[in-house]
Chains A and B, each alone.
Chain A
């Protein structure tokens, strides 16, 4: 039966647990790879818009490698958020929002990465530290003072033995490979600590929401919560998450401990073996306490803000108004649904909203266009105005336009001597004064008002540049006076 119960419990867990969901997903390598890289390192919180950009660039590169990734970064982030891998928060620095890994996703990604680079967990150092911890627990929990003293004296005895051995030169420092193994083991444990902070923060947020909901929504519980908040019980700090976080942050913020820790880290990094650590590992070791301090201060802020807001909320009796407003809003929305079949969505209703801004529109805001802003650098010379010469204008017009008046005159002149004539015949009597433009003009006239013969004829003209030209064209014939 226990096996059955356990299986059922795990089946339930599989449904609810985001970490499991991530491991189970087909896209787990993509999720763990991308999110682990961008949000699992030193930078744990990134501006959403910026994150989309970075992710899109990576997705593009992955597509080039032949992976099928149909969505955009934004689309994936929406999916991952819905799946509980990402958490979205209002940014402290900017107007927008930030994205970070959810505590569950951190666990899953860490597991996947652990598989990618397995560390031997049964190390000598782990066993040693385990033994030390068990011993410490044994000492600290012993109810009999005499035994505790005896155990501590045993410890002193052991240390003195070691000092004597060192003085006699019997004990050599640890060899490098064993030291490195110890350091890496330490780093692995240290890496887990900031991740715990994410969980603590998530716990606080859930707690805050639950308390608020309790206050606003349920009559019975509200009385007790309100009562307790009034009695000064800091509900959040007294919670399990709050207490364990309090102990940790006290230790982190203890200046004596901090100084000693940092001095030790510096000493360790000065040793010869430290050269064999990667820059990232060295940085992690050096910045460990600073990171912890920053994260712990941040969570402190969150708790303080929540606690203060909660107390104020209760004390100001805002919650009573909110309770009323909540039910009023529900009524209004219900009435809206009833009204919706009878009114078009864009139809104004008989209400207006007073805005909290005055529209500033004064003629004083008009700014005259100042030509001096675009001052010409060259000296402006005034053009001398003279009376236009009509012939010159006509000549200018003739350069750009076909002179149909002239062509019509020419055609009609030839037709006064012959019953009909072709374009070539017109040109024989009146040479093309505008070169090819005259020929085209005649052809246009003939096409519109004359006929086209079956045979071909040759037309000749002199171009405006003075070069003789000829062309063979279907004979176009004028049969009557053109206009």
Chain B
């Protein structure tokens, strides 16, 4: 993007601490760390880091590539994040999280909400609203209380593990704009295919009514 200044970043600099072997300026390193730590760098929330990212995008991209990480920048919505390098051979640097049925359903609801309300700026949802939309997934044989507990656990997973929700007041959460990019059309298609497979196979074999949960072959994972 700003290739002119890129040479700058390679210059020898004052070390930041005794024995500092790094060559990047202080803010650029902060960007690097912020990206690696995740879940994303927001231009609106951290304008200084965002500016540093735009200045030194190519050395940052370079350093991340050394870690088998791919940098995704959305300049319009002003956020950036890292993901696994798109290569079969590369080791997986970022964690991936196995999704339960309910997690997936919740992700779809969140993605849908993000889609319809994005025009207004930040999208904040209420826990109760999301749960209400997911009520259709509770089959009559499923205990209501138990289902609510499962919903709760998915809701917390969205916060703590997947980090696609950020707390915004009690029982309210902001949907991360990153969700736009990590749940895209391909991902949604894969989810539909998986759901259809479950409906098809589940009705004939009924294997899914047995715990423990580790019986599903991650055959379609690559597709996602």
Contact = CB atoms under 8 A, between A and B. Distances in A.
Interface of A: 48-49, 74, 88, 90, 95-97, 205, 208-209, 212-213, 216, 305-306, 309-310, 312-313, 316, 321-322, 324-326, 328-329, 331-333, 335-360
Nearest to A326: B115
B52 interface: no
A201 B106 CA distance: 32
A357 B139 contact: no
B162 A339 contact: no
A449 B81 CA distance: 80
Interface stretch (B1-9, B16-24, B54-62, B206-214): B206-214
A353 to B, nearest CB: 5
In this complex, the member of A49, A205, A353 whose beta carbon has the largest number of chain B beta carbons within 10 angstroms is A353
B119 A309 contact: yes
A142 to B, nearest CB: 46
B interface, size bucket:
35 or more
A325 B216 CA distance: 27
Interface string B40-54: 100000000000000
B39 interface: yes
**Top 4 closest pairs, chain A to chain B, by CB:** A357-B38, A342-B202, A335-B195, A90-B122
Given A342-B208, A345-B150, A348-B216, 6 more contacts: A90-B121, A90-B168, A328-B185, A343-B208, A349-B99, A356-B178
Contacts of B121: 90, 305
Contacts of A88: 124
Given A329-B108, A350-B194, A352-B97, A358 B82 contact: yes
Contacts of A333: 105, 108-109, 112
- Say what secondary structure dominates the interface of chain A: helix
A353 B162 contact: yes
Given A74-B170, A353-B97, A316 B76 contact: yes
A296 B86 CA distance: 48
A342 B206 CA distance: 7
B163 A338 contact: no
A208 B118 CA distance: 11
Interface of B: 36-40, 67, 69, 76, 81-84, 93-102, 104-105, 107-109, 111-112, 115-116, 119-124, 136-139, 142, 147, 150-151, 153, 161-163, 166-170, 172, 174, 178, 182-185, 187-192, 194-199, 201-203, 206, 208-209, 211, 213-214, 216-221, 224
Contacts of A352: 96-99, 218, 221, 224
Contacts of A326: 112, 115-116
Nearest to B206: A342
Contacts of B217: 350
B101 A358 contact: no
Nearest to A212: B119
Given A97-B172, A335-B195, A356 B220 contact: no
Contacts of A342: 198-199, 201-203, 206, 208
A354 B104 contact: no
| Residue in B139, B169, B174 with the greatest tally of chain A CB atoms within 10 Å | B169
A328 B192 contact: yes
B130 to A, nearest CB: 13
Given A335-B195, A356-B40, A357-B37, A350 B100 contact: no
B168 A97 contact: yes
B60 to A, nearest CB: 14
